[in-house]
Amino acid sequence: MKSYTYLMVDVACIIVPFLFSFYKKHAFYKEWKHFIPANLLVAAFFLVWDYWFTEIGVWGFNPDYLCGIYLGNLPLEEVLFFICIPYACTFTYFALKYLVPLRYYACNSGLVISLLLVPLIFSLFLGYGKMYTFSTSLLLSGVFLVAIYRQTNLNLILLSYLVVLPFFLLSNGLLTGSFIDEPIVWYDNNENLGVRVFTIPVEDFFYGLLLVIGNVTLFEWLKRSRVNS
């Protein structure tokens, strides 16, 4: 069973959101026509990024916890990660739209984003020359600056990320070595700040937020495009 550890993490992350997607009153499966193309496009970007960083040794994977199927230099479980995690997060976003009254997240998110930019700017300076730190900080800063410029409301996306954060800590903690003898995903600490939350590099929080924002934003854009067409 050890060789299926990463695969079981993927399944554990998606199983509950998948089952609740068939809840009749608010059926997320009816949104698959928007989610699937959005997810595939965002996943393609992250997989290219992932492939490159794996190739140059920014991070890598412990074969003891993998089923042994690879696509290029990426294990199957890593590819599935970019489907399972975005599905869970986009489902959470979808559910919160019904559970949280509009007035609680409709206000402009500019102040929240501006506050989040502060640690990102520090990370840019501290992480100059460290590929993981610099790339995640730069990309997320760019996303936030565009959101401020275009007055895009990210409040519900940020709330969704906050809701899934405990599960992120559990799943990503396991991937990075919590609860098991060795990490499933290892990192070259020369390419990050070396600051960890438990066993999780702090950059993973930026990376995860980029993944969530990309999927949800494109998901919503495709929905609007089809309604207006």
pLDDT at site 117: 93
Considering the domain boundaries, does residue 201 fall inside one? yes
Contact (CB, 8 A) for 98 and 92: no
For 185, the enclosing helix (H) or strand (E) is strand 185-187
Quote the tokens at residue 223.
């929905």
Query: How many Cα neighbours within 13 Å face the side chain of 95?
Result: 18
Q: 159-215: per-residue pLDDT in tens? A: 999 999 999 999 999 999 999 999 999 999 999 999 999 999 999 999 999 999 999
Say which residue the tokens 């959005």 belong to: 38
Contact (CB, 8 A) for 76 and 70: yes
Say which residue the tokens 């695969």 belong to: 7
List the domain range (segments joined by +) for residue 108: 2-21+50-228
Considering the domain boundaries, does residue 39 fall inside one? no
Total count of domains within the chain? 1
Cα R_g (the chain), whole angstroms: 18
Q: 91-149: per-residue pLDDT in tens? A: 999 999 999 988 878 887 888 899 999 999 999 999 999 999 999 999 999 999 999 99
Considering the domain boundaries, does residue 113 fall inside one? yes
Quote the tokens at residue 178.
């919590």
Closest CA to 81 of 138, 133, 11: 11
For 217, the enclosing helix (H) or strand (E) is helix 203-228
Q: 20-53: per-residue pLDDT in tens? A: 999 999 999 999 999 999 999 999 999 999 999 9
Residue 34's region, left for phi above 0, alpha for psi from -120 to 50, else beta, is: alpha
